[in-house]
Structure 1
Amino acid sequence: MKQFALGWSHGDALVLSTAAMLAECRFDLGGRDFRPFARAPWMGQVSDPAIIGHLRELGGDFACLPFGAGPPQPIGPPEWAELMGEPPLVPIHGPAGDAEWELVARTEHSVTLGLDYPADSLVRRLERRVAGRPGAPVLDSSLTIYPRRSGAVSVGLHPILRLPEARGQLRLEAEFEFGLVHPRQVGAGEAQEFTSLNHVPHRGGKIDLSHVPLGEPNFSAQLCGMRGPLRAVFLEEGAEVEIDWDRDLLPSLQIWCTDRGIEGEPWQGRYRGIGLEPIASAFDLNTQLSERPNPISRRGVATAVQLQADTPLTLSHTVSAFATGSTAAGGG
């Protein structure tokens, strides 16, 4: 594993060759350091190759293609369970989230890494660029997909913010067409759909997903048809981030919140973070499901990206940091 440090006028960051992972990022907010991304406590300590790359070095942002993790058995409401006929692909979230990427280009404030995909893959190659934006506390990232042939594939970006210690101290703001609770958390006869983060179905009642931590070990939902960027306000710190991206290509946002809720290696009940993940996918379910008609795509929200042979496609996203009440510097 190699490390690539970058710095610019308003911060510094560290990108790893493993999964092209953003391991660290510090924003300078007028002389005040702000570090909004999560960082696994085991980073740099796991060498077991049986553990997927992005879990060995679980930092603040990486890319997934295809986007999907399972589960191995059908789950949830019948309209979802009946579509889960295939086991999840290995590695989960595709080679992008597992392999060692190679250096393509590097400057003082940016790094570009590349990864060749297997010869039988729809995708020939990926290139990921991470750069600090001179003059602003903004981190710009792009993922360029070089298709081998035409077809559809699920794609996701995977920013993960840290969770404050106190319950409800990270406020989430988002506008979307409709939201769905992850099928694995929907019991027989329970509601799945919602239209506001303030009132999300959970165990026959409601929870407020606009303020995390929730007091729940694990919770996931998908915001479909995003109408603007996602804003996350660290209430006790007087600082915010805005995540903006190409919503015409990645129309949904998956929220994955885990608060010491995952056991086994390398988690061991230690990890706290909230993934705010721009996706063209049906949750993080079996990737084949996302490429076929499903309850989300049937409502006009794409769950896969359409690729054209030999025509590169670039997906961009920005993470902008600013003091509470100021104007975001970013824009995707």
Structure 2
Amino acid sequence: MTHTIGWDHGLLAVDRFGGRLGPVLFVLPDGRQVAPLAVAPWFSEKVDLSLTPLFHRLRGEWPCVPFGKDVSHGYSASQEWDVLEASDSRIRLAIAYPDAHPIRRLERIIRPLPDRPAIDLELIIDTREDCRLPVGLHPTLGAGPWFIDLPPETSVATPNSIIAPIASVPTSDGAFIDARHFPPDVPTEELLQVLEANGRVGLINKGEGYRLDLTWNEAHFPSLLLWISHRGLMMPPWNGRTTMLGVEPVCSAFDLGTTVAQGDNPIKDRGIATTLAFRAGETFRTQYRLAAQPIQ
């Protein structure tokens, strides 16, 4: 079920279920070892797959095609992928979509960089018919603490259409929080969409003295969704015990699903795409990178 690659600067694992990357261990130039990606606290527990298959062995990073809670983050997120190649240098996986789906097939290539603690990832989408779909990438970090290295005036949106600077996001009780700091002071479950994220974000872990840089193609994914999950979900298997930070490049309107993303919405009204256009018979490719480095 799991395939691994070890190299001079780390160790990575890939689970066939969901094609998920994780856990990942990076070895920094000073010899320290860090593991930024989340592993759910119920990872080794039995989960009822008839309820929400997405939660099964939840960990790390995976693609969401299409992206949205109405489609459980895409067919591929809750199915077994086929392993096409598992060598010392890369892992290739693929999954065929149901015949009635406009997407025909996904392929995923995961390749560590031999000279540094970094991983290159590629997502390839083959399309069966013309369509417009929300799509996302889903890196999920552990408890941290993390500082999201974005300018304080960076605009974010919330599902109730408030537009605010990330350093001063209004809460339901009339207070303001600096959403660049994770985890928050109180249990909560929040989604914030960073508008025009420019294809990069740094995640600083001051406690362990390193940063994780995520870079991607901003033309494909103009926004960055921040999923702030801090002991706010009480239903099984979350049970009020889970702290995760989703740092998700998306072309979507939050995770509200295909219908909202394809229609009029506050993100689209600002001139920011919320769906990608696919044409029958064409192949879409996008690349992104996770890289770690020490900080002073």
Report the TM-score range of the alignment, normalised by the length of the smaller protein. Answer: over 0.9
| 1:2-60 C-alpha deviation (Å, 9 max, x unpaired) | 11111222101111010011231000102110111111111132252214333111111
Aligned residue identity for 1:41: P
Q: Kindly indicate whether residue 171 of structure 2 is the aligned counterpart of residue 202 of structure 1.
A: yes
Gaps of 5+ in 1: 70-87, 187-191, 326-332
Distance 1:34 1:313 in 2: 33
| 1:191-244 C-alpha deviation (Å, 9 max, x unpaired) | x1113x211121223101111111232221000111241111001111100111
Aligned residue identity for 1:282: A
Aligned residue identity for 1:302: A
Equivalent in the alignment of 1:138: 118
- Residue in structure 1 matching 2:270, options 283, 299, 312: 299
Equivalent in the alignment of 1:39: 39
Task: Report the TM-score, using the length of structure 1 for normalisation.
Answer: 0.84
Please say if residues 66 and 154 of structure 1, whose CA atoms lie closer than 8 Å, have aligned partners that are also in contact: yes
SS in 2 for 1:296: helix
SS in 2 for 1:105: strand
- Residue in structure 2 matching 1:213, options 141, 162, 183: 183
Please say if residues 7 and 114 of structure 2, whose CA atoms lie closer than 8 Å, have aligned partners that are also in contact: yes
Cα distance change, pair 50–138 in 1 and its aligned pair in 2 (3 A): same
Distance 1:51 1:24 in 2: 24
Gaps of 5+ in 2: none
SS in 2 for 1:225: coil
SS in 2 for 1:96: helix
RMSD: 1.6
Aligned residue identity for 2:21: L
Distance 2:163 2:90 in 1: 40
Equivalent in the alignment of 2:158: 181
- Residue in structure 2 matching 1:229, options 200, 220, 223: 200
- Residue in structure 1 matching 2:257, options 279, 286, 308: 286
Aligned residue identity for 2:136: G
Instruction: Using the aligned pairs only, state the percent identity.
Output: 29
Distance 2:265 2:159 in 1: 14
Equivalent in the alignment of 1:73: none
Distance 2:123 2:230 in 1: 29
Aligned residue identity for 2:24: C
SS in 2 for 1:268: coil
Equivalent in the alignment of 1:21: 20
SS in 2 for 1:279: strand
Q: Kindly indicate whether residue 170 of structure 2 is the aligned counterpart of residue 171 of structure 1.
A: no
Matched residues, number: 292
Aligned residue identity for 1:159: P
SS in 2 for 1:194: strand
Task: Spell out structure 1 runs of 4+ moving beyond 6 A.
Answer: none
Please say if residues 23 and 57 of structure 1, whose CA atoms lie closer than 8 Å, have aligned partners that are also in contact: no
Equivalent in the alignment of 1:277: 248
| Greater CA drift, 58-67 or 212-221 | 212-221
Please say if residues 130 and 142 of structure 1, whose CA atoms lie closer than 8 Å, have aligned partners that are also in contact: yes
